Amino acid sequence: MALPSSLKKISDTLWELPVSYKPGMLVPARIVATEKLVREMDAGVFDQVTNVACLPGIINYAYCMPDGHWGYGFPIGGVAAMDPQHGVISPGGIGFDINCGMRLVLTNLTLEEVKPHIHRLVDALFYRVPSGVGCTGFVKCSQTEFRDILEQGSRWCLKNGYAWPLDLEMTEEEGCFPGADASKVSHKAIERGYDQVGTLGSGNHYCEIQVAKPENIIDESLARAFGLTMPNQIAIMFHCGSRGFGHQVATDYLQLFLSVMERKYGLKKLDRELSCAPFQSPEGQDYFAAMKCAVNMAFANRQVILHRIREVFSSIFHKSPEDLGMNMVYDVAHNTAKIEKHVINGKKRDVLIHRKGSTRAFGPGMEGLPDCYRETGQPVIIGGSMETGSYLLAGMESGAETFFSTAHGSGRTMSRHQAKKLGKGQKLQRDMEERGIYVRTDSWGGLAEEAGAAYKDIDEVVEATELAGLSKRVARLLPIGNIKG
């Protein structure tokens, strides 16, 4: 597409739209991308990222990552830091699937050991980890107990036998955002989510068995530090979030904010999808507490899924998960808002970071990382399409400009409707199996929507993040088995 005439190239991986681009912009908008990637972005990215630049209290710049594409309110791949005292919080800057995130788990198994069992493994995972719209999990809890999950996150899982202590250490914020308050959540949200703990859901969510081949280890030192120590080592990566619960939380507060923006706070409605409220307002604080509940639900959801994955591998290989070396590398969240400390104009201060389809990528030495990652930087997981593979990366010291944020995935290049026109899900499944990737799905149409051609080139996206100094490539992980929502 033709780029906006006022788009300025700052460097080979950084582009800027000035405040003169659109009335109301308070800061410039910046896009992290190579020239090829920025030219492939849809027009909605430029419109939405400059809308974000109009939000009260925004600091420095509105950002979009290399995987950026049109979203709801913010572009997917959007990052914005707000002044917590004078800025706003916007559900459109977090997303409906609050704390949609990635988790990577290792094994001490090799491709040669797993390949003969790949059909049994994928079939068992498909049975044990429910997927699809409206699916329910095996954790049976009352609505009252579900409220405990919302406030405790992975800690609830540890107390109830679904987690190892080390799992929490290897999860962002140890699997629980403090300050979650279930009283700020609607009864409808509780009803939608209390039976969905331990489920993948639909859309681009997946659970994938992967192999780290020697030729795909990019940084051997970091790979060893993250646990990739064997040739053809098998890992499991999965991607999911807060399911219908998070969607309802976002819906509830989007509607509330629309009703108070102009009438109560005099905030201009530039885009209904960017409804917002002052962060320090009662409505803003209520949403922040409810959003944290959805974050914690998602952490618990992924933790229970990990418990089921360990059960599957243990049953097929007749060893305990401990003996199979099924340790977490890390769990990274995207679609969150957090108070973090960053250096602004030479001074460290609290800022409210919105990350919408963007991953935190703390560099070496930063507070909040497990001790084992203090020297390496945070593990970063960027998922590709089910046909192409994914990446393990590490946060870099040079990521400060984007508030230590990086890409979260490949990023779509076409709508789900367009992707369905490419071909049938049944044929795609057969073609993938011929290429050594066995897939099970809840929906043939849903599988067609997730064809590799519907996504950007993952290699180009992660290369851009490294060239921009946001996250460093460690290893490329190739799929051999996949369950899709």
Catalytic, out of 187, 318, 408, 417: 408
Q: Is 207 annotated as a binding residue?
A: yes
206-212 and 233-240 strand pairing: antiparallel
76-82 and 359-360 strand pairing: unpaired
Q: Is 205 annotated as a binding residue?
A: yes
Using CA atoms, how far apart are residues 385 and 206, in angstroms rounded to an integer?
A: 10
Q: Is 275 annotated as a binding residue?
A: no
Q: Is 8 annotated as a binding residue?
A: no
Q: Is 206 annotated as a binding residue?
A: yes
Structure tokens that stand for 171 in this block: 């999860």
Largest alpha-carbon pair distance within the chain? 64
282 exposed, middle or buried (CB, 10 Å; 0-12, 13-18, 19+)?
exposed
The question of whether 119 is a catalytic residue gets the answer no
Q: Is 409 annotated as a binding residue?
A: yes
Using CA atoms, how far apart are residues 235 and 211, in angstroms rounded to an integer?
A: 6
Distances (CA, A) of 376 to 61, 175, 201, 223, 477: 27, 21, 33, 10, 19
Q: Is 484 annotated as a binding residue?
A: yes
Query: Of 45, 55, 60, 12, which Cα lies nearest the Cα of 357?
Result: 45
Using CA atoms, how far apart are residues 304 and 96, in angstroms rounded to an integer?
A: 21
Distances (CA, A) of 413 to 9, 45, 189, 265, 418: 22, 12, 31, 37, 10
Structure tokens that stand for 411 in this block: 């990023």
Q: Is 239 annotated as a binding residue?
A: yes
Q: Is 204 annotated as a binding residue?
A: yes
Q: What sections of 280-366 are H helices per DSSP?
A: 282-317
Q: Is 247 annotated as a binding residue?
A: no
Helix axes 282-317, 118-128, angle to 10 degrees: 140
Residues designated catalytic:
408
Please state the residue numbers annotated as binding site for GMP: 204-208, 334-335, 383-386, 390, 408-411, 484
Please state the residue numbers annotated as binding site for Mn(2+): 97, 205, 239, 334
Please state the residue numbers annotated as binding site: 97, 204-208, 239, 334-335, 383-386, 390, 408-411, 484
